[in-house]
Structures are given as structure tokens and as C-alpha cells.
Chain A
Amino acid sequence: MRATRSPRNPALAGWSRENESTMPSALPRADPAPADGLLPSSVTRGWAERDFGVYVHVPFCRVRCGYCDFNTYTADEVRGVKQSDYAGQAVAEIQRAVEILDATGAPRRPVSTVFFGGGTPTLLPVTQLAQLLGSIRDAWGLASDAEITTEANPDSVTAESLAQLAAAGFTRVSFGMQSAVPHVLATLERTHDPERVPLVVEWARAAGLQVSLDLIYGTPGESLDDWRSSLELALEQHPDHVSAYALIVESGTKLARQIARGEIASPDDDVQAEMYELADTVLAERGFSWYELSNWARDAGTRSRHNLSYWTGQDWWGVGPGAHSHVGGVRWWNVKHPAAYAERIAAGVSPAAGRETLDEETRRTETVLLTSRVADGLSISELDLPGRGAIAGLIADGLIDGGAAIRGRVVLTLRGRLLADAVVRRLLGS
């Protein structure tokens, strides 16, 4: 079946552009997405070999952290659209997603991973999160070993709500801990009480949920010792999984303005590199190993399969404002503003703002770009001739693992992980 390229609803034509100029960060520019959201039949190629996941974006936070440019809003009501209406709209998108995927003629695949991200998903009542998960289950069914995660702020959960999440079918919770050091949390404008982290982890574990902790390093003013104590405090909670992200100053954020005005220093690349190395060492000492540049797991079973699916080219449907989707070489993204989203859903029009169909060249570029970031690495067979020609130099420069290369895979060394973008450029022959 071919996709029908119906012209965009002129009444809605302004949405994506309007949103691009304002916070949060801009959407990519590409082809317009068809109003009916239908997909080309090409997406079914290799269908059965790919996992299918669902991402649900919840675009609300109590306050916006100074460094954050995620697509999230703090008002109860934005342009006449209430937070409490959101779950219903997302359910409508899920129901439409089933129809669109069915229309490709390919069989339904049970969902192997679900991820609720944000924003702060746990700002929604558990009943709504359960309702959303229920509609996903109704739509496609969940694989028996499905990984079902929600992000959560430490101050947005209770022992009770965590137990309810587990009861609803969630298997995993990822807490935004960021740091254990008060002055670092203050610079990040994190409002949660660090003392609460051990509590919420305890409650989550009691509820039978796997626990992941998100950390940020390289905050201006954070010392190596500060970072070490955050790592240690995180590890004392015995999480199953740790994500450690280098603080990035995104343009348009309050942090960026503070830095521009000279009120806060810029994060230092060398310091961040040292902190990354420290994290890798400390985590390794406690039995964690990296499986993606910013992610470490206790064992293969506690890696986030949803996270990996982004890097390994699986299919997923992203539900909600600004959510990104990928199905069989077609990528699309929804309008960012919750009001624009609500309007599209109400009008029965696809909320997609733009999409792109990857050509062979782009797919190859993406494979190199994405799989080189994971510990399993990239198959050398994916590289073109100049790319293969770069391998020896990368080994000599200590950026990729020689043994792995001989076995046919490009796997980054510690130094290579820190210079991953440069490695990718060299592999892609520039």
C-alpha cells in the first residue's frame, strides 16, 4: 500500500513552525507528514526481525529545571488544554496507531518495551498511567517479558503510588536523582530533597520494580569529589541501572542565559571527560558495565532494552506532543505544543508535524552513528571502503578496540567513547 500524501490541513499549517521558534528545542525540518498518518508499505520490510516498542511522552513538570530543554510545560492548563485531558488524547493516538500499522498489512507485534518519559510522567495520577498502559496492552498486547518503565522525579512518587504502578504492570522506574550534593542540585535548580532518594528507591524495590538512577555530571562548581560522592551515594542504593549524562547547556534555557551573563561558569570539557572516566571506574568496581555511552547496567538482564532500541534501529511508536517515532525506515515527530496536539487529535488529524523516509545512504549513516555508541558495537560489514580504511588508524589512536575489530566489530575504547563523535566522522569518511 502507498502512503497518500494529502495536503496539510491549512488551519493547522502554522503549528509546527510557530513552536519551533520557542522553547523547547526546535523540531527537525523535513517533509510534511500526511494528515492521515498512513505509512508507506516499505516499512514492512524486515518487520518480524524488529522489536516493537511504545514511548509515551508526558509533557508536564511542576517546575522547569534551569538546564532542561525537554518538551515540557509547567502550567495546569496551556492554551485551554488541561493536563487532566491529556491521557484521553494519548489513548486516542494509540488507537489510531493500531489502525495505521494494521493498514500496512503487516501482522501486529506484541509490545516488547514501553517507556513513559517526560517531563514528569508521575505527575499524572497512577490511574491515568495505568489507563494508558492498558490501552497499549489492548491495542497490541504486551510481550511476556515486556520491559515497562516510567521516569519519575523523587518528589513525585510515594510508596503507595509505586506499588500501584507495579500492580498496573510497570516493571521498572527511572529516578531523576542527578546529584547527591546540595550545591550541585541548587545550580541545577533541582527541587527534590536528596534525602528522599534512598526512600523512593527502597519503596520501588519493595514494590518489585527494577530501579535506575539518572545522574548529571560536569555541573559548574561540581568538583571531582562531589561527583565521586554522588556516584557513591547512588551506588549505595543498589540500583539495577545507572545513566550518567554530561550536563549540556542547551540554548534557550535559563542555564544558558546565566552562563551568557557570566553568573555561572561554562561546563568544562576536560573536567567532564575526567568525570566520565571516574564514573566508568567507580561503576566498574561495583560490577556495572557500560552498554551505551551514557548507560551502565549490573548485567545483561538489567540493560534498558527500550533505550537500546533507539540505538539499534528497532521500531517504536512515540505517543504525545513532540514524541518521535520510527517504523521501518520512516521517522516522524509530533507537533510539540500540547494545545496543538490536542487540536489535531480532536480533529482526527495525525499529530505528526514532519516525517522523513530514510534512503539507503541515510540508513547506513544512521547505522554507523547509532550502533557505534553501544557496547556490542557496529559490524564492520556496515562500513564502506573508506570507512574500513579508517579502522587501523582508529585502533592505532586507541579509539577502538583492536581485538573486537579483528572479530569484525567496531567497539569504542574508553578514550573512544569520549571522542565518539570524532570516531563516527572518521568512520563516515570525513
Chain B
Amino acid sequence: MSPRALKSLEPASTDPAKIRNFCIIAHIDHGKSTLADRMLGITGVVSDRDMRAQYLDRMDIERERGITIKSQAVRMPWALNGDTFALNMIDTPGHVDFTYEVSRSLAACEGAILLVDAAQGIEAQTLANLYLALDNDLTIIPVLNKIDLPAADPDKYAKELASLIGGTPDDVLRVSGKTGMGVTELLDRVVELIPAPQGDPNGPARAMIFDSVYDTYRGVVTYVRMIDGKLSPRERIQMMSTKAVHELLEIGVSSPEPTPTKGLGVGEVGYLITGVKDVRQSKVGDTVTNAAKPSTDALPGYTDPKPMVFSGLYPIDGSDYPILREALDKLKLSDASLNYEPETSVALGFGFRCGFLGLLHLEIVTERLEREFGLDLIATAPSVPYEVTTEDKKHFTVTNPSEFPTGTKIASVSEPMVKAAILAPKDYVGTIMELCQSKRGSLLGMEYLGEDRVEIRYAMPLGEIVFDFFDQLKSKTAGYASLDYEPSGEQDADLVKVDILLQGEAVDAFSAIVHRDKAYAYGLLMTERLKKLIPRQQFEVPIQAAIGARIIARESISAMRKDVLAKCYGGDITRKRKLLEKQKEGKKRMKMVGRVEVPQEAFIAALSGDVEGKDPKKK
């Protein structure tokens, strides 16, 4: 199909009335990026020849995992009834860890396409993202996707959607991002329904930074939404929070390749390049203004996302530590939500305690570090931040279990809580409630969505979710349940630190903060794992789990009796020596815990739980 708009509107001089800013929001995998592909094609900004699936998922890691991690904004021309419009579309991620990314995108838009898989129906992130969009006063266009699927049941889900956001089932559009069916109508609907941006075209320039990305070739690329006024190339701009002034080296729009323009006018979405090398100098949420004619009122920014999950990252080869530091500094440039500070571990050496938005974020950062910087890393078991108060009224925030205060009497420990929403077919309610109960959840409420789907809401400790809740939820519901959660305060709980000791020495990487009722189970799990993983030594090695001085579980590795090759060698001494060299090489990869030699791999396996034959790739 040939593009409908024969000429596109010139950025910098587009009448705001002809601009439509919207994002596509949905539960993970409901087809946002695929729908975006069709829009890129139908509007002609990407030719058939250049098209590839999930065009906007540009990072290797996005392409391999088939998920979106970063939002992407694209300007596309569209014509309706003889009028030409400029559409700014933002494809957003669907995973709960990246809710922060979605909320920033929403702030750059007047409307949102709420996409729902017509074979799956409403899921947990559908609700979470809808809530965010309504909270930002966006106009919602409900759309059912994947109607080409034989299993699609658009009538049923149109009803569900209509009852959720009001209106009638007929208001719910039906499209297929795969075949392109209904997408033209959807673009028309966007023009008709989504309000044009408002703003003072002649006021002092105010642009809201909604993303800031480090690019090796271009330095920091800052994505903005113009709220008032106008910005032009070569102008001197000012960051309102820091008052730092930069020269605008390039200004443009993504369509979807970066295209320099004569500027950005009110209501437009585009990018700025100033030559700064650190995203912190061009902070998400900050307001950009003209240095010569500055605005006095900064736009309300975003609250920085609080890291929810902490883990220690250590290079397997200790000499890679400086590379890891540099790599984290570089990643931080494009991922402002990443936090880290140096820490040391007896078992693992020098590394960093890093804060993440969630488990997927942790996994992705680790993978990017390994892939983009050639590092081999161990990540310690994820932990959440605990607030500990000792009897002498001192407060600590503990993000690393081994720093849990010992010696002093602990008055209270509080843990972060979340409100979790689980959506699942009603047959699984019993199973899910049982699971949540076992994870110390307390029921907040339950609601039917349509006839056979239920939303179950629980207050739950984040630490339990981080442990293995999602894996268990998926496996107990044959993959049907979806989960969303958001922070909701803290609660005091009977939490203890369980240490794992090898020959009486605590291995800091294995210490964990768990509820007292679960301490024994954790102790048993870890001692059994380590017994399987640690090779026999020349002496017996006791493995114990302890709370303070009290041993709660024990195992032991019997002494190795034979470590010799008693074979007929003939004169091949070289081979014998090579073998010795190999053994010595192997020993270099051992970490010493007291007198016990623990292979690096044992740490990794014990931390990742590989021992029980679990596939670490499945998440």
C-alpha cells in the first residue's frame, strides 16, 4: 500500500493542531512493536525493502529476546480528509521492570493506544499501564490485536475492554499487526480522537526530557517533547535543574532514522545533541530552555525510580575489575536507572553492589555487560533493601545480606512491600492463593474480569517475589497467570540472616535475609547445593547454615582419598607435566574460603540454582 500523505509536514513549523502524540501500551508480547512496524510501513517512513520484524527493537538483546526494553519515538506523516498530520508514535516496553520507561513516554503524549491480544485478553500490565495513562489524563484508544489468530475471541474481549474503560464494544478497534488489517483505520482514529498538543508557541522554550541515551558515535542523544516555544540548531540551551548551558549541535526528529531539522516547534517530539558525554548532564525529567531567553518555570519532572532489587556483580577474573567499573559507567550513560557502588566479598573478590528495577533488568544489565564489554560475571542472589533498627536506635539500610548487623541486638527489621495484581483464569484461583499465602501474602481483594478471568490482589513482601515467585506462578498456572506489582510501603517482619559456613567460615556471597519460618528451608537448600558443587578436598569439609551462632542445617563433604594418576606412562613425561600445569591452571580459578578450594563455577551454580537442573534461561 502506498503512503497516504504525499508530503510530510516540515518539523519546526508544524501547526500544533496538525500534531498527534501517542504511545502504544500493552501487556508484554501483545504486539506493540509489531503494530508499530505496520504503522512505519503504511505511513511510508520505512520501505518494504528495509522492513524487518520489530523494527524499533534495535538492541541485540531486544532482538534476541523478542522484547522491547527501550521506548522509541518515531515521527510519521498521515493524511485524513485532505489534511496532512504529523504523528509521533512511541513504542513502549511491556515488562513490569520497565514501567518507569512507560510512564516517561506517557508524559510526552496526549493519547495512548491500549493494545490487547485478542487471544489472551486483559492481563496484569494491561491494567497497570492503563492506570498510568489515565493518571496522565491521556485519551485512550482501545484496540484488540492479533485478530488473525484462530484462537482470537474479539467479541468476548471487546466486551471486557468496554466494561473496563467505558464505551461500547463497538468502540474497540480490531487489528492485526501481523497482516496490517485495521491499521489504516486505527491511524485515522488516532487523528480523530487524540487531542492536538496545547502550548504557547511564542512563550520561552520549554522542552521536557523523556529519554537520554548514550550513543558511541554521537554522544548523548536527548529525546524531548516541546511543551512551549521553539528550539533551533546552534542555539544555546540551558538545563533548568543544573543551569548548565550547552550549544545545540543538532536537533531533529526520528523517522525512524535520526533526521536533522530546522528545529522543533511547540508540541513536537524529537531529539537534541549537544556533545555532552554523560547522560547525567542531560537528565531525564529535566526541562530544556533557551539560555538567552530562559523560562522561569521548570516542568514537573519524574521521580527517579527506586531500585527494587540489589545484586553483587563480580568479574570471574578478578583482574577484570577495572573493566567492569568502566563498563558500568558506560551503561549508566544510557540507563539512568542503574545504580552501583563498589563492594568486596571474601568469596568473590572485588565487585559492585548494583540496584535494579527488577529481575529482568538485572538479567539484561548483566547480559549487556558480558556481551558488550566481554566480561564474565557472577551475580549474587538478588536481594531487596531492608531497613534495620538496632536496640540502640541506629538505622541501617541493608542492600547486601552480609552487611546485616550482627553483634548488636536488632530491634526491628522492615522489608519493602508490593501490591501485586495477578490475572488468571478462574480455575487457578485456589492454586494462586495457596502460593501467595506461602509467600507471606495477604489478600487485598479479588475481582472478576468477564466470566472466567479473575484479578487477585495481594500485599506481598518484595523479597518473596524476587526469590522465585514468578517462576512458580508460571509453572503452577501453566503459564496462564500474569503478574504486575508496584511498591507499597514497608512492613516489620521477623527476618533473620542465614549464613552459610564452610569449615566454620561464612561465605558472604551466600548469606541471605529470610523470614524466620523459611530459614531452615534456605539453609537446607544451600548446604545441599554446595555439597553437590564443591569438589572433595584433602580433608573433610563441614557445610553449615547458621542464624548467628545457631546451626540450623549441616552437611559434609568427605575427604578426597585419591588424587593421582596411577597409570603406565611409558616415557611420555611431557603429557604428565602438561597435566600438572592444567591442574595448576584449574587451581587458579579456585577461590579460597579458609583452606577450602571452591571452584568459581560452584559459586555461579550455587547462586543461580543450576544444581537442581533448572534451566536458568527460562524466565
Tell whether A pairs with B: yes
- Residue numbers of A with Cβ under 8 A of B are 25, 28, 30, 55, 57, 117, 214, 243-246, 248, 269-270, 272-274, 276, 293-294, 310, 316, 318, 323-326, 331, 333, 356, 362, 365-366, 369-370, 397, 399, 417-422, 424-425, 428, 430
Stretch of B148-156, B229-237, B435-443, B576-584 with 4 or more beta carbons under 8 angstroms from chain A: B576-584
Residue B571, interface by CB 8 Å:
yes
Q: Contacts A419-B560, A425-B580, A425-B584 known; A276 to B566 CB distance under 8 Å?
A: yes
- B564 near A366 with CB under 8 A, answer no
Indicate the member of B539, B566, B570 with the most A CB atoms within 10 Å: B566
Closest B residue to A217 using CB positions: B566
Closest A residue to B581 using CB positions: A365
Bound CA span A318–B564, Å: 25
Can you list 10 A-B contacts with CB-CB less than 8 angstroms, sorted by A residue number? A273-B562, A293-B566, A310-B571, A318-B570, A324-B570, A326-B571, A369-B577, A419-B560, A421-B563, A421-B583
- A293 near B564 with CB under 8 A, answer yes
Closest B residue to A306 using CB positions: B571
Number of interface residues of B (CB under 8 A): 26
Residue B371, interface by CB 8 Å:
no
Bound CA span A318–B571, Å: 8
Complex interface: chain A residues within 8 A of B565 (CB): 246, 248, 421
- B584 near A243 with CB under 8 A, answer no
Residue B573, interface by CB 8 Å:
yes
Q: Contacts A28-B578, A397-B538 known; A269 to B560 CB distance under 8 Å?
A: yes
- A324 near B538 with CB under 8 A, answer no
Bound CA span A134–B567, Å: 30
- B564 near A417 with CB under 8 A, answer yes
- B564 near A356 with CB under 8 A, answer no
Indicate the member of B564, B577, B587 with the most A CB atoms within 10 Å: B564
Q: Which of A274, A356, A369 contacts B576 (CB 8 A)?
A: A369
- A333 near B569 with CB under 8 A, answer no
Interface on chain B toward A: helix, strand, loop, or mixed SS? loop
Closest A residue to B585 using CB positions: A430
Bound CA span A366–B587, Å: 19
- A325 near B568 with CB under 8 A, answer no
Residue B135, interface by CB 8 Å:
no
Complex interface: chain B residues within 8 A of A274 (CB): 561
Complex interface: chain B residues within 8 A of A325 (CB): 571
- A310 near B569 with CB under 8 A, answer yes
- B568 near A245 with CB under 8 A, answer yes
Bound CA span A369–B577, Å: 8
- Residue numbers of B with Cβ under 8 A of A are 538-539, 560-578, 580, 583-584, 587-588
- B584 near A397 with CB under 8 A, answer no
- A419 near B562 with CB under 8 A, answer yes
Bound CA span A28–B588, Å: 22
- A324 near B572 with CB under 8 A, answer yes
A389 nearest CB across to chain B (Å): 15
- B573 near A245 with CB under 8 A, answer no
Bound CA span A326–B574, Å: 10
Complex interface: chain B residues within 8 A of A318 (CB): 570-571
- B567 near A316 with CB under 8 A, answer no
Bound CA span A270–B536, Å: 11
Complex interface: chain B residues within 8 A of A245 (CB): 566-568
- A331 near B573 with CB under 8 A, answer yes
- B570 near A117 with CB under 8 A, answer yes
A232 nearest CB across to chain B (Å): 20
Closest B residue to A325 using CB positions: B571
- B584 near A428 with CB under 8 A, answer yes
Q: Contacts A272-B562, A362-B577, A369-B577 known; A55 to B568 CB distance under 8 Å?
A: no
Complex interface: chain A residues within 8 A of B562 (CB): 246, 269-270, 272-273, 276, 418-419
Bound CA span A248–B572, Å: 16
| Given A294-B566, A418-B561, A419-B561, 18 extra CB contacts under 8 A | A30-B574, A55-B571, A243-B568, A248-B565, A273-B561, A293-B564, A310-B570, A324-B570, A325-B571, A365-B577, A366-B573, A366-B577, A369-B576, A369-B580, A397-B538, A419-B564, A430-B587, A430-B588
Complex interface: chain B residues within 8 A of A324 (CB): 570-574
Complex interface: chain B residues within 8 A of A310 (CB): 569-571, 573
Bound CA span A243–B587, Å: 31
- B566 near A333 with CB under 8 A, answer no
A306 nearest CB across to chain B (Å): 10
Closest A residue to B569 using CB positions: A310
Complex interface: chain A residues within 8 A of B569 (CB): 310
Complex interface: chain B residues within 8 A of A28 (CB): 572, 574-575, 578
Bound CA span A292–B538, Å: 22
Bound CA span A272–B560, Å: 12
Complex interface: chain B residues within 8 A of A273 (CB): 561-562
Complex interface: chain B residues within 8 A of A424 (CB): 580
Closest A residue to B537 using CB positions: A422
Bound CA span A331–B576, Å: 13
Complex interface: chain B residues within 8 A of A425 (CB): 580, 583-584, 587
Closest A residue to B572 using CB positions: A324
Q: Which 8 pairs, one residue from A and one from B, show the smallest C-beta to C-beta distance?
A: A273-B561, A324-B571, A420-B564, A273-B562, A28-B574, A269-B562, A422-B563, A294-B566
Closest B residue to A243 using CB positions: B568
